[in-house]
Structure 1
Amino acid sequence: MAAFDSASAMVVATARYLHHRGTPPLGSPAGRLLRPLAVAANRLPVRLRETIYRLASGAEARPAAHLAALDIEDVAAAIAGLYPQRRYPAVAVGSSSGALVHLCAALGMAWLPQTLLLPLRQRQVPPDDPMRAVHAFDATAQALLAHNPHFVLHHMHDPNQDRLTSQRMAYFRVKRTRLGPAYERFLTQRLDAGGVLLLAECTRRWPTTRVGERHVFQFGAVGGLQPSQYHEGDPRIAAYLRGYGIEQTRWEAPAPDGESPEAEWGFEPALRDHARAFARRHGYQVRRLIFDDPEDLSPLIADLYRWWYRRRGLPADRLLVESFMLVEPWWALRTGCVPYWSTFPVQPSADALTRYLQQSDAYDYLHLMLFSHGVESVGLASVDRWKAVLDHARVAGSFAGVDPDRYPRDLATFFRYQSALRAIPARHPIPEPLSLTELDRFFAQHGHRHPAVRFED
């Protein structure tokens, strides 16, 4: 399982919080040792920084033979083993979302992801040749799925945002259609009798091309471009490619022949029926948390924290804006920050955050993280755009660990954002978790403000 990914980063952040700890750089305490190297690399020319990013982010990729023989239940058991060995009133299973991490922190519940990224070593497929990518690893995919019959494979290829990483790594994302032995064991051992199995269901879908049974190819991904722009073209794509010496006006990709749950964020519905049957056998309740887009949860969870802080008699005037895998539930609560998670530092995310700020009571302070993916991808929001967002603060808005002059190739941001959070002077005790009854009370009062999110039994 790739560490440099949404699901793994969010599992680590959730588990670390439940262990009463902050999240270290890159999800590992050893990551702090890389900070001096990242700071030094930041001084290098742009193309050298891109090379370092490409090599570092692709270093996790595994040989095809390794993935072909992988039992994904071993990975699931390792995920379950990250959490404290205690009882939980609720456990979430399903889609990734940084806002969901903060919901788990507020309720004191664990989260088990449906989707995992298995990083496959790739050296011979250029990022701008999706026609070559689609069948490059068919034999590996067939062997992986044969060993793991309760998974669907989404081979994702995005030459826009993942341009650097995809030169070293193919994105094999697998979605489980059954809870599986490791997750079932965790639930029976850790979920309270009569507790809640919360299914986190992101309904985001994407055009795909069928490659084989339980195997689809997705060209493009959630971010700065819409699916139609990946397949039909956009004037900005030609300019982007010219920056890399490529004289193309668009990408030639396999024609989609259907739609599937989006590879990284979408929920595979087959899991729902199996989870419900499992819950009936063991006397658990099932609730569904349904949202259209991974970022749709963010305004709701920000409002939940603001409501929670005010009930505790704390100020609720400080907003922490997180970005992709830069998620920190422990320090958000410790510093009294209202968390708002953005999917990526792209224009749609900047627009969504701006709408939230315009529709909410003003914040005195804004602290803004920006994930750096190494390239000026199409749809990336500029530094000036993010500065305009910070201007919504009544007292002060600031970047959190971001070097604006080196964004989006700011290699040190992965190590500086924790220091930026610790520099916030406020300190508050970590509270007792909210109950599910309190969550229901909040949603009954405020859910009308968030029509893209709904709870169902």
Structure 2
Amino acid sequence: MARFLQGRDTPPLGKPAFRALRPAAAVAARLPMTTRQWIYSVFSGAEGRREADIARIDADAVAASVADLYPRRRYPAVVVGSSNGALTHLCAALGVPWLPQTLLLPVRQHQVPPDDPIRAAHAFDRTARALLARNPGLVLHHMHDPNQDRLTLRRMAYFRVKRTRLGPAYEEFITDVLEPGGTILIAECGQQWPTTRIGQRHLFQLGAVGGIPPEEYRYGSPQIADYLRRHRAGVSEWQAPPADAESPEAEWGFDPALRDDITVFADRHGFHTARLMFDQPEDLSPLVADLYRWWHRQRDLPANRLLIDSFILLDPWRALLTGSVPYWTTFPVQPSLARLHRYLDGRDGYDYLHLALFCHGVNSVGTATAGQWRHLLRRARIEGIFAGVSPSRYPNDPYTFFGYQQALRAIPERHRMPEPLSLASLVAFLQEMSGRYPRVQMTTR
């Protein structure tokens, strides 16, 4: 989002320096599957930081580094809240920054098997207590997903922290850049997940949004038993600490305590607030895709090219530059595939479909097959293509993180960057489409 507001596209994995890894990724993509999985585990796990580093993190300093990414100029609105790819495209359309409530703190992890959630739940208790004592405005969600993240879990644990207060860095940024009387738009994803309380402001979550529902993580299924046999896990289901509550989902869910703090701050500074509420991460995707199509047609553009994003594989600059309609999927899993089919069923057809598929390295339970995605691409009236991923190597194609950008650059159409949509235009669009998105609500104050 920061690069978009600077007039730039998104580099591979979000960092320009990673472009240097493109040749290595091309070589790795031709290696045997087991070797590719080992490389994925090592590369993704390399993000993990030492426990001592995690315990010393200053959340306000981290928030300041997030805010410092954005150009310091006046904006009519600032978005604060849930992480969401469709929301990224919405912010791009409005030309406004987004401040995340949730951040990932990757912890270096060894000696904790992916299929032992009980051991994982308490593996970092001391580090968690130190982190939370230093940062009273955080809630820690320790997420452990042995289905989709099993390769990364070999070397890294997922600490996700949610801010319950804006804090000085976010407050300073908003007061510096938000126009007088401007709007703080609070993005609130209502996704919940069963959790176990480990300590004050410390929750453990088994599993995550993806191909299977939370109850299957805790009570098993024939598909999970087969998956564990294929991976020689030595167990037929995952044993986890008993769940004692439903909480905001670690990666996507919104903690409402932050909304209360934002409201007090906005009143104190004379800002308006608005709430964008949606039940699940992908509930925004049809709305944002329709908004872009409506917007493109107002600009006399064809609006006949659907760009299907996948998790972190998205680029708001290229989407607008090519006049594409962006539709974001969380992951390449069966529920996302079904929702995408439903979206296409209810719309005029698209001439071109460009499909990104995030590759997490393992054929986890609930992953949609390459054949199923190929079938979806046949719905294009002229051409449907995989965008930077090899269907023969999916879901373990290390080149997809670099090929995706190449695929977007290969789209021939180029259009002038438009002036941002106003918040009033968004409200007018939602009123025009009243009732079409029952799981999404927007209120203003």
> TM-score band, normalised by the shorter chain?
over 0.9
Q: Is the 8 A contact 1:321 1:368 kept in 2?
A: yes
- Asked if 1:197 is matched to 2:184, the reply is yes
Find the counterpart in structure 1 of residue 142 from structure 2: 155
Note if 1:168 corresponds to 2:148.
no
Match of 1:284 in 2: 271
Q: Distance in 2 between matches of 1:234 and 1:191?
A: 50
Q: 2:337 aligns with which of 350, 371, 375?
A: 350
SS of structure 2 residue aligned to 1:156: strand
Q: CA deviation at 1:126?
A: 0.3
Alignment partner of 1:392 is 2:379:
yes
| Distance in 2, Cα, partners of 1:424 & 1:273 | 44
Q: Does 1:421 align with 2:412?
A: no
Residue in structure 2 matching 1:309, options 288, 296, 299:
296
Alpha-carbon distance in 1 for matches of 2:207, 2:418: 41
Which amino acid counterpart does residue 293 of structure 1 have in structure 2? Q
Aligned residues of 1:153 and 1:173 also touching (Cα < 8 A): yes
Q: CA deviation at 1:40?
A: 0.3
Counterpart of 2:308, as a letter, is: V
Kept in 2: contact 1:367–1:399 (CA 8 A): yes
Q: Is the 8 A contact 1:203 1:261 kept in 2?
A: yes
Q: Does 1:49 align with 2:41?
A: no
Shift of 1:79: 0.5
Structure 2 matches for 1:319-398, cutoff 5 A? 319-398=306-385
Q: Note the alpha carbon deviations across 1:122-144, whole angstroms, 9 max, x for none.
A: 00100000010011100000000
Tell me which amino acid in the other structure corresponds to 1:396.
Answer: E
Report the Cα distance in structure 1 between the residues aligned to 2:72 and 2:434, rounded to whole angstroms. 33
Q: Give the whole-Å Cα distance in 2 for the aligned partners of 1:36 and 1:73.
A: 38
131, 137, 143: which is aligned to 1:144? 131
Residue 26 (structure 1) shift: 1.0
For 1:110, the equivalent position in structure 2 comes to 97
1:91, 1:327 → 2: CA distance?
21
The answer to whether the 8 Å contact 1:324/1:341 transfers is yes
Mark the runs of 5 or more structure 1 residues left unpaired by the alignment. Answer: 1-13
Amino acid at match of 2:134: H
Shift of 1:247: 3.4
Deviations 1:372-392 (A, max 9, x none): 000000000000111111111
**What is aligned with 1:408?**
395
Mapped partners of 1:178, 1:248: distance in 2:
41
* Alpha-carbon distance between aligned partners in 2 of 1:271 and 1:395, rounded to the nearest angstrom: 46
Partner in structure 1 of residue 204 of structure 2: 217
Equivalent in 237, 244, 250 of residue 257 of structure 1: 244
User: Please, which of 7, 11, 14 is the counterpart of residue 24 of structure 1?
Assistant: 11
Distance 2:353 2:198 in 1: 45
Q: Aligned-pair distance for 1:286?
A: 0.4
Give the share of equivalent positions with the same residue, in percent: 63
TM-score if structure 1 supplies the norm length? 0.97
- Output the amino acid matched with 1:190: V
Per the TM alignment, residue 446 of structure 1 is displaced from its structure 2 partner at its CA by 1.1
Query: SS of the counterpart of 1:449?
Result: coil
Amino acid of the structure 2 residue aligned with 1:164? L
The residue that corresponds to 1:7 in the other structure is: none
Residue pair 1:238, 1:247 contacting (<8 A) in 2 also: no
| Distance across 1 between alignment mates of 2:416 and 2:406 | 19
Q: Distance in 2 between matches of 1:197 and 1:84?
A: 17
Distance 2:296 2:387 in 1: 22
1:295 aligned partner, one-letter code: E
Report the AA paired with residue 338 of structure 2: D
CA distance in 2, matches of 1:70, 1:442: 42
Structure 2: distance between partners of 1:56 and 1:282 = 45
Aligned-pair CA distance for 1:245: 1.6
Of residues 171, 188, 191, the one that matches 2:175 is 188
Task: Provide the rounded CA distance (Å) in 2 between the counterparts of 1:225 and 1:30.
Answer: 35
**2:422 corresponds to 1:435:** yes
* Matched position secondary structure for 2:405: helix
- Aligned equivalents of 2:228, 2:33: Cα separation in 1: 16
Q: How far is 1:28 from its partner?
A: 1.1
CA distance in 2, matches of 1:447, 1:318: 25
Aligned residue number for residue 84 of structure 2:
97
- Partners of 1:396 and 1:153 lie apart in 2 by 45
Instruction: Name the CA distance, whole Å, in 1 between partners of 2:371 and 2:241.
Output: 36
Q: For the residues of structure 1 that align with 2:292 and 2:44, how far apart are their CA atoms?
A: 33
**Runs of 4+ deviating beyond 3 Å:** none
Amino acid of the structure 2 residue aligned with 1:178: R
Relative distance call for 1:414 and 1:447 in structure 2 (3 A) is farther
Residues in 2 aligned to 1:125 and 1:350: alpha-carbon distance in whole angstroms: 32
Distance 1:233 1:24 in 2: 39
- Residue in structure 2 matching 1:66, options 40, 45, 53: 53
Q: Give CA deviations for 1:40-81 in whole Å, capped at 9, x if unaligned.
A: 011111111000000000101100011111101111111101
Alpha-carbon offset, residue 248 of structure 1: 2.1
Q: What is residue 82 of structure 1 aligned with on the other side?
A: 69
Letter of the 2:318 counterpart = W
Question: For 1:142-184, what per-residue CA distance to the aligned partner results, in whole angstroms no more than 9, with x for missing partners?
Answer: 0000000011000000000000111111111000000001100
Paired with 1:193 and 1:414, the residues of 2 have a C-alpha distance of: 40
| Displacement of 1:236 | 0.7
3-state SS in 2 of match to 1:416: helix
The SS at the match of 2:273 is strand
| Structure 1 residues 164-216: Cα deviation after superposition (integer angstroms, max 9, x where no partner) | 11111111100000000110000000111000000000000000001000011
What count of residue pairs does the alignment treat as equivalent?
444
Q: Distance in 1 between matches of 2:342 and 2:280?
A: 15
TM-score (norm 2): 0.99
Aligned residue in 2 for 1:9: none
Whole-Å separation in 2 of the counterparts to 1:419 and 1:274: 42
Describe the SS at the equivalent of 2:434. Answer: helix
